[in-house]
Every structure is written in C-alpha cells, then in structure tokens.
C-alpha cells in the first residue's frame, strides 16, 4: 500500500476521532489504526484536562507558529476553493475538498495544542517514576510517540528507547520487590517488541542494517542490567537474571539473522516473540 496514502488516511481518521471526542458528530466508520489513534486522542484529552504549569519558551512558540503557517499554505488551508467543474465529479469535488481541509485543519490544531502542552509535560514528567502522579502521563506520551511513528524501524527503535527508560526506573526502585519486578516486566516487553520489529524488517529486506540498532541497544543494556545483580534481595537478583537471559536470546537471534542474510537464505517462515527464526546456513556455503 502507498505509505503516503496510508498516512493521509490515518491522519484523516485521527481528525475524525478528535472531532468526536470534542462533541462533534459521530462518524460511522472504523479503521485498523483505531486502537493506536484512540490512545493518542486520550493523550490529547488528558493534556487538555491536566494542562501543565510550565510555559513554553517564546522561541518555541515562534518556531511552531512558522511551521504551522507554512504547512497551512502548503496544504491550501484557508484559501478560497476553486470553482467547481461541470458534471457529477465536479459537483463532488467541493465537498471532498472541504472535508479534507477540515481534517487537515483539525490535525494542525491538534498538533499545535499537543506540541505546546507536551513541551511542558515532558519537562514535568520525564523523570517520573512508577507511583508518581505524572507517571501515567509519561507512559501515555510514549504511546503517542508510537502512534505517530512513520515506520516499523522507527517503532522498533522507540520500543528499545522505552526499554532503556524502564531500566533507569528499575534502578531507582528500592525496597519494593513487586514494583521492581513489574518495571522489569515492562522493560522485557518493550525489548521483545523492539527486537521483533527490527529483526522482521531485516529479514523482509534481506538487509542487516536494522540489526545495528539491536546490537547497539544490547551492548549498553546488558552492562546496566548486569549492575542490578548487586541488589541485596535474592528475588531481585533472580528476576534480573531473567532479563539478562532475554538480552542474550535477542543477541543470538540478531547474529543468526545476520548469518542467514549473508549466506543468501530466504526470509524465515518461522517466527516467535523475537521475530523471524532463521535456519542455519548450509555447511557447504
């Protein structure tokens, strides 16, 4: 499918959901992206309800305004509609153009409001830990980033970034065995998602470039996770070993995919939580 067309449809559906959330008429349609977009609409609603006290800098406002004006001019928002041509198709054009213009306008308003709000929210919540008042907002912002990601590579890299964030949070949890384990559970889930997306891209394209992000992540993540083995609680150390085992499995999967791509094997049919599971290269290659 044409990625530009898909992105435009996602954007127009997002505008519809924003309109409905703000009391507009319901659109009796559904999209495969509704799950992701609904989470993003919820972030917009919460940002509106819990407006941050932090004010964005003047230069940020100026730059944002310039970006929105340029986008509006490029998309033709606010410009007079061209006269309709004759015939049935000509009669439909003004209505279609109007709907698209309203959708684009709603998106621009959402982007503006979200960018201004997030500029403050990120400053207030980026260091929030599990149990803090702003931790839910921090996680909602992460889901919004995933919903806006333009490709599986971007989403995979985001998941690995979130796994790093969960590790930082785990290192700050003391005296709470359940809380520590829960954060590592989330970290491992993000690791699996990120590795699966990136290994899948590498296998589909027969290109190991996407695996570079996995290797970089694993090198730093192993080192920091290993540091958690110094925790005094035996249960914490055992839970940490499970996360290390996952990182080892991810490293072996990335290495196996590199070898399979290098020896020209087709994309693997088998797959699991870490993505495609390649067969071993023939011994005579």
Does one domain contain both 89 and 172?
A: no
Indicate if 111 and 173 belong to the same structural domain: no
Please tell me whether residues 154 and 89 are part of one structural domain.
no
Asked whether residue 120 falls in the same domain as residue 182, the answer is no
Q: Are residues 109 and 176 in the same domain?
A: no
Same domain assignment for residues 71 and 107:
yes
Q: What pLDDT is stored for residue 128 in this prediction?
A: 84
Own/partner long-range contacts of 70-79 (Cβ < 8 Å, ≥24 apart): 71/108, 72/105, 72/108, 75/101, 75/104, 76/101, 77/101, 77/104, 77/105, 77/108
Work out the burial of residue 179: count CB atoms within 10 Å of its CB; fewer than 13 is exposed, 13-18 middle, 19 or more buried: middle
Q: How confident is the model at residue 283 (pLDDT cuts 50, 70, 90)?
A: confident
Q: Higher model confidence: residue 28 or residue 155?
A: 155
23 domain-assigned: yes
Percent of the chain with pLDDT over 90: 41
DSSP secondary-structure letter at 79?
Answer: S
Token pair for residue 95? Answer: 């209505």
Better-scored residue on pLDDT, 42 or 188: 188
Domain-embedded: residue 142: no
Q: What does DSSP assign to residue 229? A: G
The pair of three-digit structure tokens given for residue 1, joined into one six-digit string: 């499918």
| Segments forming the whole domain that contains residue 203 | 149-276
191 within some domain: yes
From CA 123, how far away is CA 126, in angstroms rounded? 6
User: Is 137 contained in some domain?
Assistant: no
- Pair (163, 120) in one structural domain: no
Specify whether 9 is located in the same domain as 114: yes
Q: Is residue 134 part of a domain?
A: no
Same structural domain for residues 222 and 181? yes
Decide: helix, strand or coil at residue 194: helix
Tokens representing 283 are: 């011994």
Choose among 130, 96, 273: nearest CA to 190. 273
116 & 160 share domain: no
The verdict on residue 135 lying in a domain is no
- Condensed to tens digits (0 to 9), the pLDDT of residues 68-105 reads 556 555 555 555 555 555 555 555 455 555 555 555 55
For 109, how many CA atoms within 13 A lie in the half-sphere containing its CB?
15
Residue 117 belongs to a domain: yes
pLDDT (0 to 100) of residue 24: 62
* pTM of this structure: 0.63
| Total structural domains within the chain | 2
* SS3 call for 5: helix
Model pLDDT for residues 139-193, shown as the tens digit of each residue = 888 888 888 888 999 999 999 999 999 999 999 998 888 999 999 999 999 999 9
One domain for residues 199 and 110:
no
Residue 86, in any domain of the structure: yes
Quick one: 78 and 162 in the same domain?
no
Q: What is the pLDDT of residues 232-273, one digit of tens each?
A: 999 999 999 999 999 999 999 999 999 999 999 888 889 999
Tokens 């349609």 locate to 29
84, 109, 125 - which closes a domain = 125
> Who contacts 257 (Cβ-Cβ below 8 Å, separation ≥6)?
199, 202, 203, 208, 211, 275, 276, 278
């Amino acid at each position: 499918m044409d990625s530009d067309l898909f992105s435009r449809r996602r954007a127009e559906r997002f505008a519809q959901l924003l309109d409905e959330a703000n009391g507009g008429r319901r659109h009796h349609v559904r999209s495969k992206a509704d799950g992701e977009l609904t989470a993003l609409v919820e972030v917009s609603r919460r940002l509106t309800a819990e407006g941050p006290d932090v004010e964005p800098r003047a230069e940020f406002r100026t730059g944002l305004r310039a970006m929105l004006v340029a986008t509006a001019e490029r998309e033709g928002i606010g410009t007079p509609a061209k006269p309709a041509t004759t015939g049935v198709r000509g009669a439909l054009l003004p209505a279609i153009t109007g709907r698209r213009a309203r959708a684009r306008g709603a998106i621009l308003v959402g982007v503006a409001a979200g960018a201004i709000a997030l500029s403050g929210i990120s400053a207030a919540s980026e260091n929030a830990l599990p149990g803090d008042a702003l931790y839910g907002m921090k996680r909602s912002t992460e889901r919004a980033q995933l919903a806006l990601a333009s490709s599986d590579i971007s989403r995979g890299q985001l998941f690995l970034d979130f796994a790093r964030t969960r590790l930082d949070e785990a290192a700050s949890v003391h005296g709470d065995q359940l809380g520590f384990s829960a954060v590592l559970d989330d970290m491992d889930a993000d690791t699996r998602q990120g590795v699966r997306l990136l290994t899948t891209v590498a296998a589909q394209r027969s290109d190991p470039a996407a695996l570079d992000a996995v290797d970089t992540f694993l090198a730093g993540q192993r080192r920091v996770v290993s540091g958690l083995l110094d925790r005094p609680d035996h249960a914490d150390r055992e839970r940490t070993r499970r996360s290390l085992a996952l990182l080892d499995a991810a490293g072996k999967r990335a290495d196996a995919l590199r070898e399979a791509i290098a020896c020209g094997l087709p994309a693997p049919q088998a797959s699991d939580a870490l993505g495609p599971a390649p067969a071993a290269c023939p011994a005579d290659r």
